[in-house]
Structure 1
Amino acid sequence: MDTPLVGLFLSSFIASTLFPGGSEALLVWQVKEGVYELWLLVCVATLGNALGGIVTYYMGRWIAYRFPERTLGAKHPKAQAWLSRYGAFSLLLSWLPVVGDPLCLLAGWLRINSAAACLLITVGKALRYIVVVGVAAQIW
């Protein structure tokens, strides 16, 4: 894999864990450069970002297993409210800044179905990157 694509993957992965960061700027720059097909950029960014969200989800499951008496929901009441109201479908919003990472973590902590969680995290993040690439491609 080319170094720029590895960089995009890593940037997307890190941006989707509990560490701050954004992969959109790198993605837009790569769209502007025009070296790669747009579908490839969407796939690489989605793969990295979805894997980051899934890792965060499984971190939540591990925390629930390891520290069952701890209460994560009190620290993230908005995320827990979304999960309580909409269930796994809340994870379509896992791409949102500030709220997305806690959604994934709490979904794991609440033991939301892992297959549904992985699918919906991936779909939500893919839709975000499709929009970002579509807008960037129209500008340039």
Structure 2
Amino acid sequence: MTLPEFDPAYGLWGLGLYSLLAATLLPGGSELALYAFLRQEPNLVFAALGVSTVGNTLGGMLSWWAGRYLPRWQKLERLPYLAAFQRWGSSVLLLSWLPLVGDAFCVAAGWLRLHWLPCCLFMAIGKFVRYWLVAQTALPH
């Protein structure tokens, strides 16, 4: 009896789902998942970068949406990172990939009612650059 061949498309679906969940308040390291995937399937680098970026950005937008619809129970003066958002606006979300504070940035952007489109674009750019750097370390040279 032989084992069935592994279809890399299933791995891409898993990578996308894991990247989405890792961008929410759930713990997880999507960088490690991307690294491991690319060590096994280096020929799928562009697909893996796209899937990871889209999944992680969708997860960040879920956090933005959660912040958008949270009740305004806290005064603006006490909101974490308020000064950064007042100075830089949605471009702060270029750093939404950072551990711990990245999720808070996404929630804060939603709570501050920043427009979703620039938030989504800045999130995607920051997350793509981070994944691209991970891919550079994972791929054989």
Give the deviation of 1:2 after TM superposition.
2.2
Give the deviation of 1:70 after TM superposition.
3.0
Of residues 61, 67, 70 in structure 2, which corresponds to 1:60?
Answer: 67
Give the deviation of 1:135 after TM superposition.
1.8
CA distance in 1, matches of 2:124, 2:58: 8
Aligned to 2:133: 131
Give the TM-score, by structure 2 length.
0.86
RMSD: 1.9
Give the deviation of 1:36 after TM superposition.
4.3
Q: How does 1:1-140 map to 2 (within 5 A)?
A: 2-34=9-41, 36-63=43-70, 67-71=71-75, 74=78, 77=80, 79-138=81-140
Give the deviation of 1:22 after TM superposition.
0.7
CA distance in 2, matches of 1:73, 1:6: 41
Unaligned runs of 5+ in 2: 1-7
> For 2:48, what is the secondary structure of its paired residue?
helix
Give the deviation of 1:81 after TM superposition.
2.9
Report the structure number with the largest CA radius of gyration: 2
More deviation, 30-39/98-107: 30-39
Count, aligned residues: 134
Amino acid at match of 1:3: Y
CA distance in 2, matches of 1:117, 1:17: 15
> For 2:124, what is the secondary structure of its paired residue?
helix
Unaligned runs of 5+ in 1: none
**Aligned-pair identity (%):** 39
* Partners of 2:85 and 2:92 within 8 A in 1: yes
Q: Note closer, same or farther for the CA distance 1:134–1:72 as it changes in structure 2 (3 Å cut).
A: farther
Give the TM-score, by structure 1 length.
0.87
